[in-house]
Amino acid sequence: MLPALELPDPSVPAPPPRTVTGGRRRWQRKLARSMAVTDALSVLVAVSTAFVVVILPQAGTVVPPAGDYVLISIGLVAAWLLATSLYRTRDHKLLGAGPAEYQALARATFLVFGWTAIASLVFTWSLSRGFLVIALGLGFALLLLTRKAWRLWLRSRRSHHRLVARTLVIGGVRSARTMASRFSADPANEFAVVGLWVPDRTAVPGEAIHVEETEIPVQGMETPLPAILDCGGVDTVVVTDTEHLGSDGISELAWELEGRDIDLLVAPNIADVAGPRIHVDAHSAMPLIYLSRPTYSAARTLRKAAFDRAIALGVLLVSLPVLVVAALAVRLSGAGPIFYRSERIGAGGVPFQMMKLRTMVDGADRMRAALEVDHDGAGPLFKKVDDPRVTPVGRFLRRYSIDELPQFINVLRGEMSVVGPRPPLRSEVDLYDDTVRRRLLVKQGITGLWPVSGRSDLSWEDSVRLDLTYVENWSMLRDLHIMARTAKAVLFARGAY
């Protein structure tokens, strides 16, 4: 557990402001240097491989001469590494989570090779296309792989509360608790809340907020902010409720942090809204945030439907041997049909018959009423960790999601999507309120945000929140990302029962 902020004694005069270089800066610089080394090795290996594979075998006939390709290779490596620095691909703000780091690497890579192609046309260089293709493809792949390795390493350290930014929240108790909970639930998160300062009220002696196993002390106007900042336990300040600081509070806070090695962030209290929908602009010297409309309508386009059917057809063809063996195992496991058909409610509230391989004993639906008295679900969602209706074969099929392969037939029929909210039962939909009913604005999916974020281990509230986040922020790139995470979740059988 990360130690909480050691707050100063209000009766002791605050020390004068001091400029410090915190441990966070040191590990950030050390990490950036280490990543620069792996970047250099990745680029060097890629360009060297392209030289050895393409240029050396035809050293006597290649144009330009092989000697010139040595100089070209050196220049290419230098330009590539310079571009990764110019695009700030090792900036600590990009590290650990999100696509921004990978996007910066892609921009740097294609910038270098784009200018190389332009230069070859302008100066009539006859550069080998094979050399450039191998160097580009292999180099970019190695850069992504090494960055993924660094992310996994950073995630493992942060899961043990190391290499994190010790964060002081300025605002209200409710928003601070929400922020600390979100940070705590994300193992890749950089920020760890260690204290809360409420500037417009006096804190109760010993007041604290509790998030999981962490106790976060609360201070109020009885403790001056400089005294908290100068105790040496804060790397970052996050303002969650600007009204607590007053009209000029943010400006005064920025001046208060001048000379201290502390980052300042302002949270707009906007949750579950994807980055592409957020746009910041300044009007009358005030930053305003534009929120684009929800993008669920784009999930109902012909492009999405064609993508779903192509994926479904490919998966069914590849998994056909597995599906045949699984179907035979279900048939031999006991009486009952091979396939289980269940009515589910799809987009717009239209019902359809969802297909699965049978994983329970025959007549399991009639046994549900007896189990609903004591089950592990929440809200309208029924789930049972040790469901006695599941057969031994069915438990194995569920663990690796093999039982869900027939749902790709539903995708081919246009009843479902590969990615989307979970398909609900009619009994669940009857209990939906207007907010939860938004899950039915798009086709229900075989996988989605909630299956890759915990599968059956999630609460009802978290499942709904993730489904609505998907509906409101749909994009094709997000679908691809969810599919990649699904493959990983299925491989390691996380949260399935």
Query: Looking at the predicted structure, is the pLDDT value of residue 351 above 50?
Result: yes
How far is residue 469's CA from residue 446's CA, in Å, rounded to a whole number? 17
Is 80 buried (19+), middle (13-18) or exposed (0-12) by CB count in 10 A?
buried
How far is residue 413's CA from residue 407's CA, in Å, rounded to a whole number? 10
Domain boundary among 116, 136, 159: 159
Give yes or no for a contact between 339 and 353, defined as CB atoms under 8 angstroms apart: no
Mean pLDDT of 155-159: 85
Which residues pair with residue 263 across a beta bridge? 236
User: Do 317 and 464 sit in the same domain of this protein?
Assistant: yes
**What does the pLDDT read at residue 33?**
92
**What does the pLDDT read at residue 16?**
46
Question: Token pair for residue 359?
Answer: 């994983």
Mean pLDDT of the chain: 82
Query: Looking at the predicted structure, is the pLDDT value of residue 305 above 80?
Result: yes
Which of the two residues, 11 and 459, has the higher pLDDT score? 459
Express each pLDDT in 415-451 by its tens digit. 999 999 989 989 889 888 888 898 898 899 999 887 7
Examine residue 447 and state whether it is found in any structural domain, yes or no: yes
The pLDDT confidence band at residue 373, using thresholds 50, 70 and 90, is low
**Within 10 A of 40 (CB to CB), how many other CB atoms are there?**
15
User: Do 263 and 340 sit in the same domain of this protein?
Assistant: no
Which of the two residues, 457 and 125, has the higher pLDDT score? 125
Which residues pair with residue 445 across a beta bridge? 417
Query: Looking at the predicted structure, is the pLDDT value of residue 12 above 60?
Result: no
Query: Looking at the predicted structure, is the pLDDT value of residue 454 above 70?
Result: no
The domain in which residue 180 lies consists of: 164-269
User: Do 361 and 480 sit in the same domain of this protein?
Assistant: yes
List the CATH number of the domain containing 223.
Answer: 3.40.50.720
Give yes or no for a contact between 143 and 43, defined as CB atoms under 8 angstroms apart: yes
Which residues pair with residue 288 across a beta bridge? 281
263: phi then psi, degrees, rounded to nearest 5: -80, 150
User: Do 169 and 153 sit in the same domain of this protein?
Assistant: no
Query: Looking at the predicted structure, is the pLDDT value of residue 365 above 80?
Result: no
Buried b (16+ CB within 10 A) or exposed e, 480-496: eebeeebeebbeeeeeb
How far is residue 17's CA from residue 256's CA, in Å, rounded to a whole number? 9
**What does the pLDDT read at residue 250?**
78
**What does the pLDDT read at residue 230?**
79
- Between strands 165-170 and 236-239, the pairing is parallel
User: Do 376 and 252 sit in the same domain of this protein?
Assistant: no
Express each pLDDT in 92-139 by its tens digit. 878 776 778 888 999 999 999 888 888 877 777 777 888 888 999 999
Give yes or no for a contact between 427 and 380, defined as CB atoms under 8 angstroms apart: yes
Query: Which residues are within 8 A (CB) of 251 and not within 5 positions of it... i.e. 6 or more apart?
Result: none
Q: Where are the alpha helices (DSSP H) in 354-412?
A: 368-371, 392-399, 407-412
**What does the pLDDT read at residue 370?**
66
Give yes or no for a contact between 279 and 292, defined as CB atoms under 8 angstroms apart: yes
Place of tokens 């929908």: 277
Its pTM surpasses 0.75: no
Examine residue 10 and state whether it is found in any structural domain, yes or no: no
The residue type of 341 is R
User: Do 315 and 422 sit in the same domain of this protein?
Assistant: yes
Nearest one of 363, 321, 315 to 340, comparing CA atoms: 363
**Within 10 A of 59 (CB to CB), how many other CB atoms are there?**
11
Mean pLDDT of 458-480: 81
Question: Token pair for residue 189?
Answer: 């998160």
User: Do 402 and 481 sit in the same domain of this protein?
Assistant: yes
**Sequence-ordered strand ranges (E) for 244-397:** 263-266, 278-283, 286-291, 339-345, 351-357
**What does the pLDDT read at residue 446?**
93
User: Do 216 and 155 sit in the same domain of this protein?
Assistant: no
Percent of the chain with pLDDT over 70: 83
**What does the pLDDT read at residue 270?**
67
Which of the two residues, 35 and 199, has the higher pLDDT score? 35
| Total residue count of the chain as it appears in this document | 497
Place of tokens 């025959």: 362
Examine residue 76 and state whether it is found in any structural domain, yes or no: yes
Highest mean pLDDT, choosing among 26-30, 97-101, 178-182, 347-351? 347-351
User: Do 35 and 127 sit in the same domain of this protein?
Assistant: yes
Highest mean pLDDT, choosing among 77-91, 184-198, 295-309? 77-91
Query: Which residues are within 8 A (CB) of 253 and not within 5 positions of it... i.e. 6 or more apart?
Result: 170, 225, 237, 239, 245, 264
Query: Looking at the predicted structure, is the pLDDT value of residue 406 above 90?
Result: yes
**Within 10 A of 123 (CB to CB), how many other CB atoms are there?**
7
How far is residue 169's CA from residue 85's CA, in Å, rounded to a whole number? 32
**What does the pLDDT read at residue 485?**
84
Which of the two residues, 210 and 66, has the higher pLDDT score? 210
User: Do 350 and 458 sit in the same domain of this protein?
Assistant: yes
Domain boundary among 159, 180, 209: 159
**What does the pLDDT read at residue 21?**
41
User: Do 326 and 246 sit in the same domain of this protein?
Assistant: no
Supply the Cα-derived Rg of the chain in whole angstroms.
28
Long-range pairs of 268-272 with CB within 8 A, sequence gap ≥ 24: 269/175, 269/240, 269/241, 271/178, 271/182, 272/465, 272/468, 272/469, 272/472, 272/473
**What does the pLDDT read at residue 155?**
87
Query: Looking at the predicted structure, is the pLDDT value of residue 3 above 60?
Result: no
**Within 10 A of 319 (CB to CB), how many other CB atoms are there?**
14
The pLDDT confidence band at residue 19, using thresholds 50, 70 and 90, is very low
Query: Looking at the predicted structure, is the pLDDT value of residue 157 above 90?
Result: no
The SS3 assignment for 6 reads: coil
User: Do 57 and 131 sit in the same domain of this protein?
Assistant: yes
Helix (H) or strand (E) holding 167: strand 165-170
Query: Looking at the predicted structure, is the pLDDT value of residue 376 above 70?
Result: no
**What does the pLDDT read at residue 17?**
42
**What does the pLDDT read at residue 464?**
83
The pLDDT confidence band at residue 481, using thresholds 50, 70 and 90, is confident
The pLDDT confidence band at residue 345, using thresholds 50, 70 and 90, is very high
**What does the pLDDT read at residue 18?**
41
